[in-house]
Structure 1
Amino acid sequence: MQQPAIPPRSLTRHDIKTLALAAVGGALEFYDFVIFAFFALVIGERFFPADLPDWLRQLQTFALFAAGYLARPLGGVVLAHYGDKLGRKKTFTLSILMMALPTTVMGLLPDYASIGIAAPIIMLLLRVLQGAAIGGEVPGAWVFVSEHVPSSRVGGACGLLTSGLTLGIILGSLITQGLTYLLPAGLLADIGWRIAFLIGGGFGLMGMFLRRWLHETPVFLAMQQQRSQTRLPIKTLLLSYRPALFFSTILTWLLAAAIIVLVLMAPVLFQKWFAISAAQSLQANTFATCMLMIGCIGGGVAADKWGMSRSLLVGCLLLAAAVLWLFYCLSFAPSQFFLAYGVVGLMLGVLGIIPAIMVTVFPTQVRFTGLATAYNLGYAVFGGLTPLFITLLMPLNRQLPALYLLTLCAAVIVSCLVFERKQRSFSKKK
């Protein structure tokens, strides 16, 4: 299919405003999704029987966390279908509402001591709703901003948005630190974590309000005028764009695993397996996440300047080296832990390149559906199982997270080279 032509233009003030609003709204919604991870230990204590072994309670808690990822494909495909058919903007309002309401209910939900087995079951259902919402939000946001800017700025736009999403993680980390510092352990377990979830519900409503000022993308409007939409985007995707779908899923695997292991699970892992104090691990996590924001913007700008594939390959090599240094420091040079973790955060800037690549490998007619399907399948299958995999095998080898991420970096490098070769071969045949 021919993609709708958009006249070349420079980045306007309206584009910058759109990027800022999308990034802030995405950050507020992402906070709602990740705050669960920061309070995983407390939630495990409150929503499962007290007589369970510690390892089993932790495993079940991360299973609840994983449920949000497993729900992403369904929510992502459904929201993406309407995004490709009815418009990108409309999915934004729906996805953020689907996130804000369950987060608020989580903060008010009675625990196991009050309602028994119903507590973890209801928490599971709410987590599923959160997963469905984020499944449409994140890929929709990348598509939205990439279609608002010139093609030469797609990397920078996606990097900026990914940096904005990272701000949601920083908010979660800062609020967790603040509540941990201000409240005694008993009060934190009783109501402190609930305050964080209720704040998240308010954030979601704020994000929905901000998105009133967003406008539909010029690319989608042009596609509507040319009447070049497909009747069933998912069918077209599976029939005609399987290589791009597979490649994007591999990219998402690295993106998901890196965020989950190095950002969301890291404070718990550092405390439990490397004897890092709670205060130090949370402070280092906040620093690394701030560096991640800078890295994502840098990665996106590098993709625009030096090419997406080249930037991705170099970024994967730098990330692998940084991860090796971090886990070396955790075991043998703890005095360098803080600095090493910050460098890892900066090298995670490769994650700002990944969405820009995924946006460009799908045509407009199936772009939202293609990106959402790959992104959510990758997160559901690989991202959702990563916490369980790490939790089960960590007792056998404390260096497992590093080995896991190094393997993924190698897989992305190989996949990128293979996909590029196939694309060149296909172009020559045409």
Structure 2
Amino acid sequence: MSNALTKSDIKTLSLSSLGGALEFYDFIVFLTFIPILKLHFFPEQSELGSLMSIYGIYAVAYFVRPLSGIILAHFGDIVGRKRMFMLSLFLMAVPTLMIGLLPTYESVGILAPILLLFMRLLQGIALGGEVPSAHVFVTEHVKSNHLGLANSLIAAGLTFGVLIGYAISTSLNIIFTEQEVKEFAWRIPFIIGGGLGLFALYLRRYLQETPVFLQFKAEREKSSEFPIKTVLKKYLKESFFGILTTWLLMTGVIMVLLIPNLMKSELYGLSAPFVNKIALLATAMNIIGSVIAGLMVDRIGLSKTMIFFSIILGTSSTIFFSYLGTDSNTLLIGGLYIFSSLFLGLVACVPIFIVKLYEPQVRLTGMSFSYNIGNAFFGGLTTFLVPVIAQGFSENIVSYYLIFLCALGIYLGFVAKRFKI
């Protein structure tokens, strides 16, 4: 058996990564421009009120994911992976483009935040189907000895979208003045993202249906039982741990998405240009760490990889937080942040854990159910409550929360060993 990825594998991995990259690109762009978005869509509220409103609209995309993900995955297990893969990308690209074209509160009043909320709902629906579909798609295309690497490359692709988002946001601050960014240039990243999404949709039509789906298609057509019913009847324990494992994804949300915003806030007062630069480097390190994690999974197994990354991430992030806010050496702080981000390869272990819990006939439904339920609950609460608590009440919540997640990662590493995955 060849150990190298084939040209077909590389093509599948590349095209599968495009949609996820777009989705995470949009998420980081939205978060980056939250200070501007709240001015345009909630100008009449107090500082805390507008902050809660805009973070609430951001988080709402997480809450619609379970239902949308189950529906899209249901049809993915019935009519094919590729069709749902195409639909989810379309549902992401169009709303991203539209956010860049929306009228503001000054132009249409209360209709502006309502339209923004609607666009985020559509993006949440898309995200519910896109990421699980990508992981199932590559899992069913590559050889079993490349399963870890293939899934980690999808995870790295998601982070690559964050990297592009940071790069474009940083470029805007260089090309335009602060006033120009506030007035109109904030729209440019959303328009670019929508355009890239439609182009990725065009390229994705060249993907082939997975051979695994084609093998069980005839058997599935004879079955009258809904995939979600099978998951709830036969995979309840697996689903519980699948949902719990998605909590580890919040380490990435905290390190890559929330901490840069907090470092630029009044809590820590680091300059925006400096934070943007180290955020770019930290995100690049996350991509490298994800690929390393995938290679380790294929070499030493999922359990050992999860435990190793959890221990190192917990230790390094604790040291980082001990200096943040108490040390004036910004280079040291930046270096610790970048180093810690390498071990966010932990997030690449999450989809590998979940996708191996289910049989092919219900794999997409099972993964979508676990992945989206977990993200809706843990992701929604994290992206809404943690920033508000950190900026309004206690900045230590971020550090404590991250340490807890790393402890959870160690526990789930032992669970993976027990499930022999």
Map Cα deviations across residues 386-408 of structure 1 (whole Å, 9 max, x no partner). 12221332143322111001112
Map Cα deviations across residues 205-262 of structure 1 (whole Å, 9 max, x no partner). 011011021111111111125558753011110111111111111111111x122211
1:338 aligns with 2:321: no
Map Cα deviations across residues 126-156 of structure 1 (whole Å, 9 max, x no partner). 1010011011001110110111111111100
Q: Alignment partner for residue 251 of structure 1, among 245, 249, 252?
A: 245
Cα contact 1:329–1:335 (8 A) shared by 2: no
Change (3 A) 1:267 1:303: same
1:420, distance to aligned residue in structure 2 (A): 4.3
1:417 corresponds to which residue?
414
SS of the residue 1:331 aligns to: coil
Cα contact 1:174–1:286 (8 A) shared by 2: yes
Map Cα deviations across residues 54-74 of structure 1 (whole Å, 9 max, x no partner). 122111111110011111112
Q: Alignment partner for residue 360 of structure 1, among 356, 362, 366?
A: 356
1:25, distance to aligned residue in structure 2 (A): 3.7
Q: 2-side partners of 1:15 and 1:41: how far apart?
A: 41
1:16, distance to aligned residue in structure 2 (A): 1.6
1:12 aligns with 2:20: no
1:117 aligned partner, one-letter code: I
Map Cα deviations across residues 104-141 of structure 1 (whole Å, 9 max, x no partner). 11111111111111111111111010011011001110
1:34, distance to aligned residue in structure 2 (A): 3.4
Cα contact 1:75–1:132 (8 A) shared by 2: yes
Q: 1-side partners of 2:75 and 2:193: how far apart?
A: 26
Q: 1-side partners of 2:206 and 2:400: how far apart?
A: 45
Q: Alignment partner for residue 383 of structure 2, among 384, 387, 392?
A: 387
Map Cα deviations across residues 164-221 of structure 1 (whole Å, 9 max, x no partner). 1111101111111111221122211121111111111101101101102111111111
2:255 aligned partner, one-letter code: L
2:306 corresponds to which residue?
312
Q: 2-side partners of 1:409 and 1:356: how far apart?
A: 17
Deviates more, 1:389-398 or 1:220-229: 220-229
Q: Give runs of ≥4 in structure 1 deviating > 2 Å.
A: 7-12, 225-231, 331-335, 411-421
Q: Alignment partner for residue 192 of structure 1, among 185, 203, 214?
A: 185
Q: How does 1:18-417 map to 2 (within 5 A)?
A: 18-50=12-44, 52-227=45-220, 231-255=225-249, 257-272=250-265, 273-333=267-327, 334-394=330-390, 395-417=392-414
Q: 2-side partners of 1:262 and 1:415: how far apart?
A: 20
TM-score where L is the length of structure 2: 0.94
Q: 2-side partners of 1:322 and 1:158: how far apart?
A: 25
Q: 2-side partners of 1:384 and 1:82: how far apart?
A: 25
Q: 2-side partners of 1:414 and 1:278: how far apart?
A: 37
Q: 2-side partners of 1:132 and 1:226: how far apart?
A: 29
Gaps of 5+ in 1: 1-6
Gaps of 5+ in 2: none
SS of the residue 1:317 aligns to: helix
1:8, distance to aligned residue in structure 2 (A): 9.8
Q: 1-side partners of 2:150 and 2:416: how far apart?
A: 23
Change (3 A) 1:10 1:392: closer
Change (3 A) 1:374 1:270: same
2:284 aligned partner, one-letter code: C
SS of the residue 1:274 aligns to: coil
Change (3 A) 1:182 1:162: same
1:10, distance to aligned residue in structure 2 (A): 6.7
Aligned CA-pair RMSD: 1.9
Quote the sequence identity (%): 39
1:418, distance to aligned residue in structure 2 (A): 4.4
2:408 aligned partner, one-letter code: A
Change (3 A) 1:408 1:229: farther
Q: 1-side partners of 2:13 and 2:384: how far apart?
A: 35
Cα contact 1:59–1:391 (8 A) shared by 2: no
1:419, distance to aligned residue in structure 2 (A): 6.0
Cα contact 1:292–1:348 (8 A) shared by 2: yes
Cα contact 1:156–1:301 (8 A) shared by 2: yes
Cα contact 1:247–1:416 (8 A) shared by 2: no
1:280, distance to aligned residue in structure 2 (A): 0.9
2:381 aligned partner, one-letter code: L
Aligned length: 416
1:29, distance to aligned residue in structure 2 (A): 3.7
1:188 aligned partner, one-letter code: V
